Structure 1
């Protein structure tokens, strides 16, 4: 009598296989209206729809990753943001652009440099890592697009390549290898075209800084209990 075959646990694990583009919301995807939760005030940035359609047509999965300290400040509720999120993702879906998921950080930034911050507020990479874990995303072949260098740093720290939407929203310009964008673009269409024209990804866990030196990104397991979870 033959022995029952035990399942191979290695075969049960899903290998990350999809490439994603992580999008900052305010100032990148939609025009920045501080602490806005009114769907009537949503306005897409120039050529956003064209750029996102191009990425979707080439197989990229789209996520929104957004800092929303207005929650911690008591300026709006999660229900308020949920209504805005539904309106925003609905508008995009009407254009044939599905958003795989939306991740937000509800925390305010630290009040001083000695105070530890959360793991999800960009430039921390928590939201990207949580999305990658939940949706089997291959981070080395994925991209982060944002309008400030905190977005760029979050992408690099997660193991992605990063695009800076150079539209005047970055004002501090605190530079380091992790805050050096791979690409600068004026619109999401320009960003999408540059992503599609980019060279193949470097081996997982490595990226190149502007000087050409290898920068190693250590993989840290996601910690969902400390993150701003998606709705």
Structure 2
């Protein structure tokens, strides 16, 4: 798996907004959380195979003073209520001007997730909806799978190595590779 295509899949990371849930900019209200179609089932397929799953999310609303960390945690808790337990949450609260090493497209969150779970980036995949997700995957050594939404730019789709129509198709790509192409 991974960028070389040879390492086993040992963890899958997801972007939050626009990937696991519908994007509500700077959402501080757990009642506004709406999962993407088949998100729960897609995550369950990974869980049932013992593959850890986590969320890596830029949350610049914290750094901008629009959201509090507690509000982000409340939204994340609602996501887990709707989608089931996640093994890992890593949030970057910084604004782009901070140029922190964790904010996607930098590799920091991917690398921290890998360290936390004791896996190599080449044994992981990052599923997201925009180019910065794919860049973070690439520079960290993880496999990136783009799931475009109306917010995804055409250039981001063209630049992506792997593109899936939806979350379920992205998980299909990963599980088929794990099973040597035999997963149905």
Q: 1:130 aligns with which of 102, 112, 122?
A: 112
Q: Does 1:183 align with 2:162?
A: yes
1: distance between equivalents of 2:86 and 2:83?
Answer: 8
Measured in 2, the distance between the counterparts of 1:187 and 1:53 equals 16
* 1:155 aligned counterpart, secondary structure: helix
Q: Does 1:25 align with 2:4?
A: no
Q: Aligned to 1:31, what secondary structure does the other structure show?
A: coil
Q: 1:181 to 1:80 in 2, by over 3 A?
A: same
TM superposition shift of 1:196 = 1.2
Which one of the candidate residues 46, 63, 80 is aligned to 1:72? 63
> Number of paired residues?
173
Among residues 86, 93, 97, which one is paired with 1:106 in the alignment? 93
CA-based RMSD: 2.2
Distance in 1, matches of 2:141 and 2:78, equals 30
Contact between 1:147 and 1:170, CA under 8 Å: does it hold in 2? Answer: yes
The CA deviation string for residues 184-227 of structure 1, in whole angstroms up to 9 with x for no partner, is: 112111110111123799xxxxxxxxxxxxxxxxxxxxxxxxxx
1:199-210 correspondence to structure 2 within 5 Å: none
| Alignment equivalent of 2:48, drawn from 33, 39, 57 | 57
Q: CA deviation at 1:88?
A: 1.5
Take 2:150 and 2:177, find their aligned partners in 1: how far apart are those partners? 24
CA contact (8 A) 1:20 1:138 kept: no
Q: Which residue of 1 is the match for residue 177 of structure 2?
A: 198
TM-score, scaled relative to structure 1? 0.69
- The aligned residue for residue 27 of structure 2 is 36
The structure number with the bigger radius of gyration is: 1
Distance 1:172 1:118 in 2: 27
Give the C-alpha shift of residue 172 in structure 1.
6.5
| Alpha-carbon offset, residue 109 of structure 1 | 0.9
What is residue 141 of structure 2 aligned with on the other side?
159
Distance 1:60 1:18 in 2: 8
Change (3 A) 1:182 1:141: farther
Unmatched runs of 5 consecutive residues or more in structure 1: 1-16, 111-115, 202-231
Unaligned runs of 5+ in 2: 1-7
Deviation at 1:58, TM superposition (A): 2.3
Mapped to 2, the partners of 1:138 and 1:48 lie a distance apart of 25
Instruction: Give the drift of 1:78.
Output: 0.8
| In 2, Cα distance between equivalents of 1:198 and 1:18 | 9
